[in-house]
Amino acid sequence: MTEQNAVTQTTDLGSESNSSTPVQKVDLLGMDRQAMEAFFKSIGEKPFRAGQVMKWIHQFGVSDFDEMTNLSKALRENLKSVATVRTPKIVAEQLSEDGTIKWLLEVDNKNSIETVFIPEKNRGTLCISSQVGCALDCSFCSTGKQGFNRNLENWEIIAQMWVANKALGCLPKEERRITNVVFMGMGEPLLNVKHTFPAARILMDDFAYGLSKRRVTISTAGVVPAIDMIKAEVDVSLAISLHAPNNELRNILVPINEKYPLELLMPSLHRFVEGGHSKKHVTVEYVMIDHINDRIEHAHQLVELLGDLPCKVNLIPFNPFPNTDYKRSSNNAIHRFRDVLENGGLNVTVRKTRGDDIDAACGQLAGKVKDRTKRTLHHVEMNLKQKTN
Ligand code: SAH
């Protein structure tokens, strides 16, 4: 292990940890502007206090009301008695040789989640989690293999940005290192819209992180009814984890396809783009797995399937994890696949794998999940049965 990727144990950036938070107090970290304004009205204050407090929390990383110096002493005392700013405990922080940083955050006694910061030349992307584990069981994803425990709440989702922004210095907006946020960590964000949508609104709020809607991306395995809610509720950007050009293969790789097959999914992507600005598009993610979905005929089928959908295709070399039989496609196969897509008129990029020395690459986020689905055990039992028969 290099000095750089050493693990820092138990750093708590916040002044109040969730374990010491009395349950009856209102938590302000996860409130979007509307909720925060309603809260201030409810305690007899003017709604503009919402913006002031959001700035302190999100832009300056302050969780202690005493530090919010433009509020009167009386208001600060009142806030201390009725409200709190819950912050998660940072269990570990790991730095990759390529500059990628991964944080492991404890969200309750039994579970932890992972968040990853990926610096690039002209931008910095934070990859955040939306659930503890994942219920979808995509066959190539290590998060899915751990099973599902629960949805994250607003504050737990936004806390990932809060922690990362604070660790990176809480800089003024023009200098901030996190320029983009993607919901591509653990979990399926569109099976938790009740909490991911308010968190996305906080990311885009000028009193908080002020990111434009082009720089906040929800990635989904294809929860069609929720795709149809995005435009009206948050209007963020959309990435679809497609991974297969036909239902037969997609049912195996992304089993939610059985519920929302391509004939339902594709029209919902067209509806998402419809009526938007000229550059509005969908990002299509396609993980390249050796001899599974990387054949030339799959590329031709994909060109056909995407048709005139305004989109950018992102080919993701499969990232292996323990106990998987899948392998990464060869570079040759990836380049051949890309060429067919490009000749078919598609805009294609091949994603560089980042942070794999700290297990921070796509699909490798594991955290610590107390599986309530008992899927892991089920898998083990199935494997044992097969081996003993
Ligand atoms: N549930 C959401 C978000 C989480 S996955 C979704 O399905 O989009 C984020 C991205 O990582 C998805 O495109 C996912 O398919 C991809 N991914 C998962 N496991 C991977 C692996 N082992 N290698 C490469 N990409 C993977």
Query: How far away, in angstroms, is 351 Cα from ligand 1 center?
Result: 12
Tens digit of each residue's pLDDT, the chain (389 residues): 333 333 333 333 444 444 454 457 999 999 999 999 999 999 999 999 999 999 999 999 999 999 999 999 999 999 999 999 999 899 999 999 999 999 999 988 888 899 999 999 999 999 999 999 999 999 999 888 888 989 999 999 999 999 999 999 999 888 889 999 999 999 999 999 999 999 999 999 999 999 999 999 999 999 999 999 999 999 999 999 999 999 999 999 999 999 999 999 999 999 999 988 878 999 999 999 999 999 999 999 999 999 999 999 999 999 988 889 999 999 999 999 999 999 999 999 999 888 878 877 766 666 666 676 755 444 444 434 443 34
319 contacts: CB under 8 Å, gap ≥ 6 = 328, 353, 356, 361, 362, 363, 364
Nearest CA to ligand 1 atom 5: 184
How many alpha carbons lie under 13 Å from residue 233 in its C-beta half-sphere? 17
Give the dihedral sign, CA 49/61/65/83: positive
Active site residues: 114, 362
Pocket test for ligand 1, best of 145, 148, 184 (most atoms within 8 A of CB): 184
CA distance linking residue 103 with residue 59, whole number of Å: 20
The whole model's pTM is what?
A: 0.89
The full DSSP string for 272-285 is: HHTTS-TT--EEEE
Ligand 1 centroid to 363 CA: how many Å? 5
